[in-house]
């Protein structure tokens, strides 16, 4: 009888998970359909915005370097040719795929809420109260990553890659797929990277990471960040620093988060010990 109840409970959890997944997927598809309907505006004002010489980042970087008396290619941004489509179905498939990816990005807070709703019944009342801010913090970091990628990393990278040329014998002639793929991959990759403090929180919670571990490999992390910054930015120190600083700040925040988790665990352990002694 007990085994049957456990089996029913397990099947019930699977059914509940299925509906959470259905609602999450529905949110992505609904947002994706809306974006597909307004695909022209989405492409011109978002996905292809970095090809506009008057994009705000180019103007700000131009003013920044000019303030210090430095010459900058950001003051003379030029994109010679339009992107090309090589297949009859390429634009249609690209717009569908891009709408789904942007649907995932915009639905991210709702997806987190669905995950929390599935996990919450298995938590204690105290744990539920403590975890309520999780959705806000994770969503805030995610969209900070989106903003940083869109306004900093993407324009710097696109400006550099579009103007990089080994020899005049090779002509840059990019497809729409390559450009849109570059932008969407950056948006998703950087936004996930900005979730580092949240990841560290849970890894510390289950005992896989400690502040001492993060401090020990701080220098290694610095080298990795600088290498990544050098890869995705033009070969000038100012641009690399602009990209590296927020990531290093996130790493330091993650160390503080890990310390905070251990302090809370130690405090709860002392509290439980006193209760048992009574």
Q: Which residues in the chain show pLDDT less than 50? A: 1-8
Rounded distance between C-alpha atoms, residue 38 and residue 43, angstroms? 9
Residue spans of the domains in the chain: they are 11-77+84-164+172-269
> What's the CA gap between 78 and 142, in Å, rounded?
31
Which residues have a Cβ under 8 Å from the Cβ of 61 and sit 6 or more positions away? 72, 74, 156
Asked if residue 74 lies in contact with residue 58, where contact means CB atoms within 8 angstroms, the answer is yes
Sign of the dihedral defined by the CA atoms of residues 229, 232, 236, 241, in that order: negative
Tokens at residue 64, please?
């920044």
What does the pLDDT read at residue 3? 43
Cα–Cα distance measured from residue 47 to residue 32, given in angstroms and rounded to the nearest whole number: 14
Q: Which two tokens stand for residue 6?
A: 């456990």
Predicted local distance difference test score (pLDDT) of residue 72: 77
Residues 187, 192: Cα–Cα separation, whole Å:
9
User: Which is nearest to 110 in space by CA: 144, 139, 130?
Assistant: 139
Contact (CB, 8 A) for 65 and 238: yes
Distance between CA atoms of residues 150 and 49, nearest Å? 9
Quote the pLDDT of residue 7: 46
Tell me the HSE value of 17 on the side-chain side, using a 13 A CA sphere. 7
pLDDT at 93: 94
Q: List Cβ neighbours of 159 (8 Å cut-off, separation of 6 or more).
A: 50, 58, 73, 74, 77, 234
How much helix, strand and coil, in percent to the nearest 5, is found in the chain? Answer: 80, 0, 20
């Amino acid at each position: 009888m007990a085994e049957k109840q456990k089996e029913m409970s397990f099947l019930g959890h699977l059914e509940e998970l299925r509906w959470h997944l259905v609602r999450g997927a529905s949110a992505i598809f609904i947002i994706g359909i809306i974006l597909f309907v307004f695909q022209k505006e989405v492409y011109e004002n978002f996905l292809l915005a970095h090809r506009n010489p008057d994009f705000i980042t180019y103007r700000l970087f131009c003013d920044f370097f000019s303030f210090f008396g430095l010459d900058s290619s950001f003051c003379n941004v030029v994109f010679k040719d339009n992107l090309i489509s090589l297949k009859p179905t390429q634009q249609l498939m690209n717009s569908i795929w891009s709408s789904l990816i942007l649907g995932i990005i915009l639905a991210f807070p709702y997806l987190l809420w669905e995950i929390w709703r599935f996990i919450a019944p298995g938590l204690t009342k105290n744990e539920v109260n403590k975890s309520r801010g999780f959705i806000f913090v994770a969503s805030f970091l995610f969209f900070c990553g989106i903003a940083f990628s869109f306004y900093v990393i993407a324009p710097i990278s696109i400006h550099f890659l579009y103007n990089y040329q080994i020899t005049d014998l090779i002509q840059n002639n990019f497809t729409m797929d390559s450009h849109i793929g570059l932008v969407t991959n950056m948006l998703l990759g950087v936004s996930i990277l900005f979730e580092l403090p949240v990841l560290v929180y849970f890894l510390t919670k289950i005992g896989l990471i400690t502040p001492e571990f993060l401090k020990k490999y701080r220098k290694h992390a610095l080298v990795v960040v600088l290498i990544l910054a050098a890869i995705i930015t033009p070969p000038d120190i100012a641009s690399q620093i602009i990209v590296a600083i927020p990531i290093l700040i996130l790493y330091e925040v993650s160390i503080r988060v890990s310390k905070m988790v251990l302090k809370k665990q130690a405090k709860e352990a002392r509290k439980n010990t006193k209760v048992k002694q009574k």
